[in-house]
């Protein structure tokens, strides 16, 4: 297949409800989509960065510049027989993993569709039904926090994750645990603590959490190992894991016991598979993280979650939790058991809604 053109678009999509983490609040998403045109067909990918460089360094503006000025010249007019050949074409780029992932993932989706296979099978997935959890943002008070948990449990989700930060940790987690003693519960700090908080974080051991996600610095593995030795609660790394070597390091140091895999953060499906394999070899289960994706990214997360070591519920949820109207048809739905069925259709299994996409598009450019 020869890559004939790349179409870049930025969509403006308001969230159903604002989402707050330790690093800030998001109400309106700026979603950069990449359409890869090859052999008279096209595949779609999503740049999963935040609007501002608070989760990682990438933003929609850096993604646009790198896609147009650096990635397009590297991949345009190039032939590939398998989408695993895309990552090597972009190997010289340092960072910008989410921009690279959007192009690589679009190629995977296109190649799977051309091969007449569902993307998840094409990737080597083995599980048709994936277990799902939810990530609940920081709420203004405990009543709102408990009400949000109650709603998601009623919808069937198998695991509750709440965002925490200093001053908003023991109270929400304690209140949830007292009300629901048996549920699978975890906290995600998005790097809001330091090692000086170790004693405080050890108090979370009383709540029987499945895990505590990324308590320390976004670029740290070593000090998480020191913290893990002082906690019973398993740690999970998100921000710190960019490729399989980071997992090998985390395993060697004992920095965590679980890995969150995000397609964008690790640079696409090839790297995500390598991260998955490294975690499996090290004895760590993995789960698929989310970045408030539109349906395009959501569909890719579903496919990834079918790989065998994705044994824990991921942050992969129904379109309706975030969007009044998603940009794919059909939208993603969750079963009453809190699972999502991977589609049997060729490719991602969802069709981009071009009319809606055009209406939401703030800018568009096609590179040849
Ligand atoms: O740390 O997992 C995270 C959202 C934005 C940035 C970082 C994170 C998150 C989430 C939401 O937790 C996951 C989702 O439902 O998409
Ligand atoms: Mg996280």
Query: Which residue owns the Cα nearest ligand 1 atom 7?
Result: 291
What number does the ligand 1 atom closest to the CA of 293 have? 16
pLDDT at position 309 is 98
Tokens 């998603």 belong to 326
Token pair belonging to 273: 């598979």
Concerning whether 2 is annotated as a catalytic residue, the answer is: no
What number does the ligand 1 atom closest to the CA of 26 have? 5
Mean pLDDT of the chain: 98
- Tell me how far the alpha carbon of residue 236 is from its chain's centroid: 14
Q: pLDDT by residue (tens digit) across 49-59?
A: 999 999 999 99
What number does the ligand 1 atom closest to the CA of 161 have? 12
From ligand 1's centre to the CA of 327, what distance in Å? 19
Percent of the chain whose predicted confidence (pLDDT) is above 70:
100
From ligand 2's centre to the CA of 313, what distance in Å? 14
Cβ–ligand 1 contact at 292 (below 6 Å) = yes
Q: Label residue 44 by pLDDT band (50, 70, 90).
A: very high
Q: pLDDT by residue (tens digit) across 288-304?
A: 999 999 999 999 999 99
From ligand 2's centre to the CA of 294, what distance in Å? 18
Q: pLDDT by residue (tens digit) across 95-148?
A: 999 999 999 999 999 999 999 999 999 999 999 999 999 999 999 999 999 999
Token pair belonging to 126: 């083995």
Pick the catalytic residue: 139, 161, 163, 165? 163
From ligand 2's centre to the CA of 261, what distance in Å? 10
Q: Which ligand is nearest to the CA of 24?
A: 1
What number does the ligand 1 atom closest to the CA of 238 have? 1
Could you give the 3-state DSSP secondary structure of residue 195?
helix
Query: Which residue owns the Cα nearest ligand 1 atom 8?
Result: 291
Question: Residue ranges of the alpha helices (H) in the chain?
Answer: 60-66, 72-75, 86-89, 97-114, 119-122, 142-154, 170-179, 198-202, 222-230, 244-253, 263-266, 269-282, 295-304, 354-360
Query: Which residue owns the Cα nearest ligand 1 atom 6?
Result: 291
Cβ–ligand 1 contact at 152 (below 6 Å) = no
Q: Which ligand is nearest to the CA of 215?
A: 2
Mean pLDDT, to the nearest integer, of 81-85? Answer: 98
pLDDT at position 168 is 98
Cβ–ligand 1 contact at 256 (below 6 Å) = no
Name the β-bridge partners of 341.
129
**Measuring CA to CA, which residue among 212, 204, 168, 205 is closest to residue 187?**
212
Cβ–ligand 1 contact at 46 (below 6 Å) = no
**Measuring CA to CA, which residue among 295, 278, 289, 291 is closest to residue 109?**
295
Mean pLDDT, to the nearest integer, of 316-339? Answer: 98
Concerning whether 262 is annotated as a catalytic residue, the answer is: yes
Q: pLDDT by residue (tens digit) across 213-258?
A: 999 999 999 999 999 999 999 999 999 999 999 999 999 999 999 9
Q: Which among 237, 239, 315, 316 is the best mutation to test ligand 1's pocket, defined by most ligand atoms within 8 Å of the CB? A: 315
Q: How far apart are CA 361 and CA 241, in angstroms?
A: 32
Q: pLDDT by residue (tens digit) across 1-39?
A: 999 999 999 999 999 999 999 999 999 999 999 999 999
Q: Label residue 158 by pLDDT band (50, 70, 90).
A: very high
Cβ–ligand 1 contact at 291 (below 6 Å) = yes
């Amino acid at each position: 297949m020869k890559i004939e053109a790349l179409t870049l678009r930025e969509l403006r999509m308001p969230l159903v409800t604002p989402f707050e983490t330790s690093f800030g609040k998001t109400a309106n998403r700026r979603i950069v989509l990449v359409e890869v045109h090859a052999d008279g067909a096209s595949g779609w990918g999503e740049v999963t960065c935040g609007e501002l460089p608070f989760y990682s360094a990438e933003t929609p503006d850096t993604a646009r510049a790198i896609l147009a000025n650096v990635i397009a010249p590297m991949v345009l007019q190039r032939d590939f027989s398998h989408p695993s050949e895309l990552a090597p074409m972009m190997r010289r780029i340092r960072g910008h993993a989410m921009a690279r992932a959007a192009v690589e993932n679009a190629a995977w989706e296109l190649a799977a569709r051309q091969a007449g296979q569902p993307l998840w099978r094409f990737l080597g997935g083995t599980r048709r039904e994936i277990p799902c959890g939810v990530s609940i943002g920081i709420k203004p008070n405990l009543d709102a926090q408990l009400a949000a948990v109650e709603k998601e449990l009623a919808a069937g989700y198998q695991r509750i994750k709440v965002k925490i930060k200093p001053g908003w940790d023991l109270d929400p987690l304690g209140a949830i645990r007292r009300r629901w003693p048996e549920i699978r519960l975890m906290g995600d700090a998005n790097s809001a603590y330091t090692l000086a908080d170790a004693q405080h974080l050890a108090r979370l051991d009383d709540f029987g959490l499945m895990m505590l996600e990324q308590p320390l610095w976004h670029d740290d593995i070593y000090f998480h190992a020191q913290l893990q030795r002082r906690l019973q609660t398993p740690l999970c790394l998100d921000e710190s894991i960019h490729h399989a070597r980071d997992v090998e390091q985390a395993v060697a140091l004992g920095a965590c016991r679980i890995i969150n895999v995000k397609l964008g953060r690790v640079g696409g499906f090839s790297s995500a598979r390598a991260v998955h394999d490294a975690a499996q070899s090290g004895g760590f289960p993995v789960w698929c993280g989310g970045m408030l994706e539109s349906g395009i990214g959501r569909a890719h997360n579903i496919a990834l979650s079918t790989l065998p070591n994705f044994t824990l519920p991921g942050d992969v949820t129904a379109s309706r939790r975030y969007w009044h109207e998603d940009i794919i048809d059909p939208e993603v739905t969750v079963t009453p058991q809190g699972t999502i069925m991977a589609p049997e259709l060729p490719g991602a299994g969802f069709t981009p809604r071009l009319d809606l996409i055009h209406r939401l598009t703030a800018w568009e450019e096609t590179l040849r």
